[in-house]
Structure 1
Amino acid sequence: MRNTVRDPGALALPPSQLHLLAYRSTFETASVRILVCDRKLIVRDVNPALLETEGLDRSAFVGRPLSEVMGKAVYERRLPQVEAALAGQAQTTVEWGLRRATRGQLLRIRHEPVRDEAGQVIGVLLTMEDRTDLHELEQRVSMQDEVIRQTSDALAVVDRAFNFLWANPAYAMIWNRLPEEVVGVPVPDVIGMDGFEERVLPHLTRCFAGEVVQYELVKRRADGEETHFSVRLEPLNDDDDILIGAIVNMRDVTETAQLDRRMRRQALLDTLTELANRHALESEIGRRIELCAEQSGGCEECRTALLLVDLDDFKVVNDLAGHTAGDALLRQVASLLKSLDPNAFVARLGGDEFALVVDIADEAGAAALGERVVHSIEAVGFSWNGELFSIGASVGIALLDREAFAASTPTAQDVLNWADRACLVAKEKGGARLSVFHPDDDEMRARFEEIGNFQVVQNALQHDRFELFVMPVAPVDDTSRPWHEVLLRVISEDGRPLPPAGFIAAAERHGLMNRVDRWVVETVLQRLPELPADAHLSINLSGQSVGDPIFCDFLLSALDAAAVAPGRLAFEITETSAVRSMETALELIAGLKARGVGVVLDDFGSGLSSFGYLRRFDVDMLKIDGNIIGNVREDKVQQTIVAGIVAVAEVMQVRVVAEYVEDRETLEVLRGLGVSLVQGFYIGRPVSWGDVFGR
């Protein structure tokens, strides 16, 4: 636009007053800073914006030379542009302000020629515009553009017609294109129609409904490898908040996906043997159960068997050759089991336990495979550092057949428990054999009940879940205070005392009675000083303890340390255990007697040679076997046996105790036969220690 004035002396003011008013209004209100000078470079006018910036009035500018107004440095810098404008050429520069008032500002400075009506240049119009904020904004935008351009995240914008509006280089590179080869192109043409309809369209549709969508996209490369992308779609709205498209953000997560896959695989893998682990086994059993459950009432016939394999004598290898040898043996067994059936699912549960899940026709087929496992492991000759070790295996088999689904659909843990029960039975029978679980098998039920009792005792020993009970032994004539036989109860996890029959037998069978007896002895000796002086107790000793010299030494040492007063304590030893461990029993009896501790020969009369052995045992009492007392009221033979025992006891100067006294009639018969002490429910039932002694 040409700047003109009518009168050169007045810088060619507009001829009409209206035009003049418009010019002055624009000049006065412009936000840009304006200065006008003539050809002699004398300042003729400035606008308020310039005065405000400089903090001066018009007199500091108007009528003064431009060089004086600008200052020497600024004038010399601007003079080339001013001269160019006087020559008719407009000049524009962008530079940082040099004057005190404009320092730190980025100025857009324009020098334009001012012409008269004839087109002659009569002066210069100089405008200065502060572009600092705009420059900073442009810098930020430029920086953001560069970040978007260089970021590893793949970014794109898709409109509602499924065309690309924009894409950065990272996004275009995924599809082997340049950004300009993506913009304006339909999405299916870039990523492929199959990939679009199956893997992208459903997610874009949700995004266009206003939802932020995240999903994973897998792209197969030309070399066959897979690239995993995490994709995020966000709705894109215009200034009127109308949804116009979707912002696509794709991030390469291949390394993370591979790591996750490795971790998930390791979570299902036994690292030592590279077999499946217990978690993977449970998943496989669960999958097989679902397949069977899909059929009405479970499998029509057995199709799946679980074989649980527990190595016998593995601890020997670990103890004698070390854990490194044990690990090597486990790897050897793992390879062997995998070779027995290539289609079997083989797992290691932990320790020396393995499992096989196999498709099998019937129980006979499962048992045949179990026999192969037993014989194959027996045939393993494991050599370590020149020493040869032989091991065996106990195998428990559980079948997924109609019987397994009879009550309800089993869980994976149910099936594992079944196989574990069968395996424990096989091991209890001596190992190196197999056992098949059947829920109605009486022998297996009894065996497992015993195993359960054994585990109860183990748990009680570990967590101190025993409690002492006492049962009175009273004189028939009530001439003295009863003494008490100490009994033991196992306390269940819910606080109930369990009956002794099952767990005592299990503890004896599994060699735990020494530890149980030790607990009873230590506990009684600890509590004995707190009891009244006339309280007398008897403690039962198991056959294992009586026959164990180490236990006998412990018992005598414990009595010495406790300094038990003579006559306050007695130990009951069964006739059978005394006869079985004759020499050890005789030494123990002598040691007890020497310390003033009484000895009761329990269950007397149960053996055929009771009287023959009696002379060798220096005891204080005979406790007649309960089977003899049971029907003594009516059975003349039993009465004769009791009378004979009483007669022998009188000669040996020992007292006689009759147990299993359940009623008054039996008590009276025994009184008539000369029995001095009686015990049984009629005399008093077992009660807790605290109920009698206050603790």
Structure 2
Amino acid sequence: MTDNNNLDDKIDLAPVVLDQCSIGLFVLGADGRIVNWNRWMVTASGIGVASALGRLLADLLPEVSGSTLEQAIDAAGSQGDSTVLHAASGTAVLPLPRRAAGGAHQMVIVKPLLAKSHHVLVQVFDQGDLPGEASLPPRMAEQPGAKSGAELATLSILSAIADAVITTDLHRNISYMNVVAEKLTGWRLTAAMGLPLARVFQVMDEGAALLHGAIERCLATGTLAGGQRQELILVHRDGIGIAVEASLAPICDEQKNIHGVVLVFRDVSHARSLAAQVSWQASHDTLTGLVNRGSFDDRLDDLLRDAMATGRIHGMLYLDLDQFKIVNDTCGHVAGDELLRQIATRLSQHIRTGDTLARLGGDEFGVLLVDCSEAVVLRIANKMRQAIMDLRFAWDDKAYAIGVSIGVVAITAESERAEQVLSAADTACYAAKDGGRNQVHVYRPDAGEAAQRQGEMHWVARIHSALEEDRFCLYVQPIVPIDQRSAHTGHCEVLIRMRDEAGALVPPNKFIPAAERFGLMPRIDRWVVNQLFNLIGREHETLVLGGYCFAINLSGGSVNDEDTLTYIGEKLVEFRIPPGMISFEITETAAIANLASASYFIRTLKQAGCLFSLDDFGSGLSSFAYLKNLPVDFLKIDGAFIRDLATDPIDRAMVQAINQIGQVMGLKTIAEFVENDQVLGLLRGIGVDFAQGYGIARPMPLTDQAGRLLLGK
């Protein structure tokens, strides 16, 4: 470039500019062979410039052959079409060996250059380099006689690339700007031509001095300005600040004489904003705006290190909402989300500067209190509990009261790992729920809940062993019509027992609590279904033709488990179980804990011919209110009302009410824990349909230890 501000035929700016760009760029000639291959492409592909020039793209990267990219390049060269290609998930438009990690976010823009030259420019954007808007400026019109072929080719490339380009002469006066540079600076080339670069490309703060120094070094040495990109704030002509990433290179002729500099820059405002957004989303819960579980764990690690280094004591709260699922299931997830946002706002009002409030998942929250005595921790915990108690959540003209159970644990120099702190807080929260809910419970290492937790963990290992060694067995207990008492009606509840390592029977109250606590019940329930259905298949004549029907207990975990629902459906088909032969018993508390899931589970299996009992009915807080939402066939009255039926008038009134509502809804009622004839007579007088208990028959093994059927033999 010379001082007359005109492009010289002897200087090919294209390679210089393309090398300064922060994206992949290459140019294909009319014959489809590569004529320009920038430094980014060299790094990404491992193919040097000398090896690329004059070669077909498919020769360098065979995967391109026959691809949508090759079709787009053909369309650009022959028809002048521009195309934007986005990578499908886990793939890449242009497979580059050294950029595999970015394939899922890759975008490629294919543009024609001069109309008659049939040259094609390909731009490759990868992950963070993606532009905010993919602009496709029209192909530059040819100007016959205005410029030479070499100049037109260079200008065509500079006009088409997504980066902004400004060139200057030796005096730092502008000799060229492409369309992108005009847009970012607010200056048209006709107005900027010949003006000092610093007037058009104005930079804020210390960026101006950095840019000036880089230009001086570039002109003095004829080498790249440190080989680094600079992040600057460019001031648009209208006074708006724009974040840009810029790089410089000298403009030299074939004799290495310096004629000026080329400044290549790009708008990174969108990328920076997106990066900030992604960073925020990675550490925060998008629903409530609180810190999320991952960030909470990191901060807990920091407090553990601080406690060990300084001896300071910190506190952690583990909050689990009471009755949240009732709102979520009866009013819908939109209402549940709004309730969580309101609770997050209320909790935020009671933490101090420097403390952390996080949503750990679902309806669980965590709080980290820095340098906080137990007295202060308890005061904050109780303020939070009271704040949630005072909340009256209104939705669809109804108001709901919510409570919270809070577990408290100290973080001290003796706290070994984050997992132990979290486990202790969870144990304390569970103890708060077990103690009646809506209360604060402090974890004590020597307290009863710690021993209970340790005992439950011991049972988990034993349950796993029993499942693997097939040491569970099935018992049955008859359910008989009250108006025609018989121990052999064929209607039985299936019960589970476990044999220990020595072969002795283990009652369910020993291992079921641990199985429920640690999520093992769906696996146990599937074992029961598989064993019973296999037996029905083997003993078809006795069990099916004999008119037997079986009631299987299902845990709340199974009712909320899509895999268990699918499993049961498949087994019903596999063993051709007749309609009405199988009924499932679901406890009332499990059903209303997730009403939507329970309703879907019941309706799905009823379509497959199964019946349903609502077990322990009457033990919940709002039994009748939720009953109409559950399409069950039987109400199994909670045994707590049956035991003292003969002596407690309140129990009798409860049983009468449950039986009456069942009859109105067309449901059959079953009384459990019937232990004597007096109770049985009272139930007959009330009109209860079925009875079960030791006064009818005790549980008995369904099969012997060899697996042979005992029932009906």
TM-score (norm 2): 0.43
Larger Rg: 1
TM-score of the superposed pair, with normalisation by structure 1: 0.44
